[in-house]
Structure 1
């Protein structure tokens, strides 16, 4: 497992680092994005509503069963995460010489 910590849905499965492997971390993530220029009051309201849903009892429990860790991040936090992911994987892609296929 390439997560930093064990997932509740698979608590018996060690992380790659715990199992003696290299310190790797990677995850699949999902987020809701809006076009540039949408007013902050709208993106903040949408973010709060989505967080209310994904962090609610039954929905949260189901997501965790599926090994999805719901976060309910703010738009600013989500933007920072996305920028960090782009920067991190851009370096990997460049170093590996990966080219898009059309």
Structure 2
């Protein structure tokens, strides 16, 4: 009878080992499924974040490019005004500068 008990114990151990292998296999399969789900969730979050950042970037580019056109126009107008002011100042001082230069050029020193 002892051999029957030994055989029954071995059979019980083999059955327990097979059950443990099934549990491990199902746990690995569940882990693989969960990893795939996590990867898909992460990809969706990344895509949403990228879309948000790109829209913010395009908005800023649109704002800055619109401003740069108006800035260029404003700077051109300011430059033109400054040039006119300098021409007016130069025309006012021009006779005095010419007289001073003529004085120094025509004066002979010994």
Do the structures match in fold with TM over 0.5? Answer: no
Which of the pair is proportionally richer in helix? Answer: 2
Question: Larger radius of gyration, structure 1 or 2?
Answer: 2
Q: Which has the higher contact order (CA 8 A, sep 6+)?
A: 1
**Structure 1 length normalisation: TM-score?**
0.24
